[in-house]
Structure formats: structure tokens, C-alpha cells
Amino acid sequence: MKIKSIFLLLFGVLILSANSIVKGQTANLTINVSGLKEIKGGIQLGLYNESASFPKPEYEFMVISILADSSSVTYTIPELPVGEYAIALYHDINSDKACNKNWIGIPTEAYGFSNNVRVIFSAPSFEKTKFSLIEDSAINVKLKH
């Protein structure tokens, strides 16, 4: 009887430990941005982890500024918690930290989304742009002009 109780206790501890390991898992995410027509300014990248906040400025999970020093740039986010994410980014040519738009709201600076989702009349949804990060991964985003 004692051995059975000890076995059950150890089994319970093992299950709890495995669950906490999964919750704490992280992965590196490498983002490759291509299609920069001008080598100046920077890439402003918003990483989102919730549908309700995508792609609203100031509601990002993480904001990253990358120097635009080549026609393509690469950035790696280390130890990101595993989960579902979406990316919205733009080439901030004039470094004003805003995605400049014309009078009807169309961006005048190049922009892109994860999964290279094509934009038709408005920004795409989180569902169309999301990707699962479960291990070290790389994604490619081509800027649209």
C-alpha cells in the first residue's frame, strides 16, 4: 500500500513538472524582411499575440526597430514564449515612428505582414497573418510598395 501511494505521489509530481516545462518553453524567431527600395530609416516591427490588438499601434506584444542598412534585413528575437503570433511592419524611411499615409489612409511607406498576406481595402486579420512558434523558426516578409 505504501509503495502504491509513493508511486502515485511521484507520478503526480512528474505530471506537474512536465506541465510547467511546457508552459515555460521558448524559441528564437528570425524575421527576414526583403524589398527595401531605399537604404535609410528603419523597419518598425510590431509583434502581436492577440487577435483583438492586431494590428493596432500601441497594443503590440513587442515593438522592434531595425536599422535599414541593406535591401534586406534580418532580426532574431531570442527566447520568445511559444505560441501564436502575427507581425505587422513598415519601412519608416523618414524615421518619424509612424506609418505615413495619404489622404485616404493608404500607406505611403512600404509595409508587410507575416505570411505575406495581400492587403485588399484594409489591414488583414490576425487569423490570416498568424503563425505558430513551437521551435526556433524563421519567417520572411516581403515589403509591399
Give the pLDDT means over successive 10-residue stretches in the chain (145 positions).
52 45 84 97 98 95 97 98 98 96 95 95 95 98 96
DSSP class per residue in 93-126: TT-SSS--B-TTS-BSS-EEEGGGPPPBSBPPPH
The answer to the question of residue 89 being in a domain is yes
Residue 8 to residue 26: CA distance in whole angstroms:
30
pLDDT of residue 12: 47
Structure confidence at residue 90 (pLDDT):
98
Domain presence at residue 2: no
Cell of 42: 528603419
- pLDDT of 1 reads 55
Q: What's the domain count of the chain?
A: 1
Taken as a whole, the chain contains a residue count of 145
Instruction: Residue 137: name the closest of 65, 40, 29, 20 by CA.
Output: 29
* CATH number of the domain where residue 47 is located: 2.60.40
Q: Is 123 contained in some domain?
A: yes
Is 49 contained in some domain?
yes
3-state class of 58 per DSSP?
A: coil
Look up the pTM and report it. 0.83
pLDDT at 120: 85
Asked whether residue 121 is assigned to any structural domain, the reply reads: yes
Cell of 136: 526556433
State which amino acid sits at residue 77: I
Residue 17 lies in a domain: no
Strand, coil or helix: what is 36?
coil
